[in-house]
């Protein structure tokens, strides 16, 4: 998502009414938790982006996200579903990708 959309709060428009997120710490959020806030602005790099067709109106997207500002690499999974004629983000999870020990 472009930084101007993260800063303006416009990202809220893409969230499905039943949106859920599991963050890296395990905390669960819903759409109401994001109302009126601005997302963290950082430089990101996306790689290994794949789309899986789950149904005609539903897609699973997986990718690796590198936060260039905080130097954190995460595996991401998002489920997108058509709602009222437009694609909306129904579910998202980010898991930190740590180097093998």
pTM: 0.82
pLDDT digits (tens, 9 = 90+) for 49-78: 999 999 999 999 999 999 888 888 999 999
CATH architecture of 3-96: Roll (3.10)
Which of these, 59, 61, 29, 39, lies nearest to 48 by C-alpha position? 61
Q: State how far Cα 12 lies from the chain centre.
A: 11
Q: Nearest 10 degrees: CA dihedral of 6, 11, 12, 16?
A: -150
What six digits make up the tokens of 43? 């430089």
> What pLDDT score does 2 carry?
41
The neighbouring-strand residues paired with 67 are 44, 72
Question: Look-up: residue for tokens 């109106």?
Answer: 57
For position 81, what pLDDT does the model report? 98
Intervals of the chain under pLDDT 70: 1-9, 38-40, 101
């Amino acid at each position: 998502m472009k930084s101007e959309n993260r800063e303006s709060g416009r990202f809220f428009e893409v969230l499905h009414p039943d949106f859920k997120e599991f963050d890296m710490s395990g905390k669960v959020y819903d759409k109401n938790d994001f109302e009126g806030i601005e997302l963290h602005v950082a430089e990101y790099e996306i790689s290994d982006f794949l789309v899986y067709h789950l149904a005609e109106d539903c897609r699973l997207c997986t990718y690796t996200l590198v936060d260039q500002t905080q130097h954190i690499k995460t595996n991401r999974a998002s489920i997108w579903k058509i709602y009222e004629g437009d694609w909306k983000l129904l579910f998202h999870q980010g898991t930190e990708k740590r180097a093998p020990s």
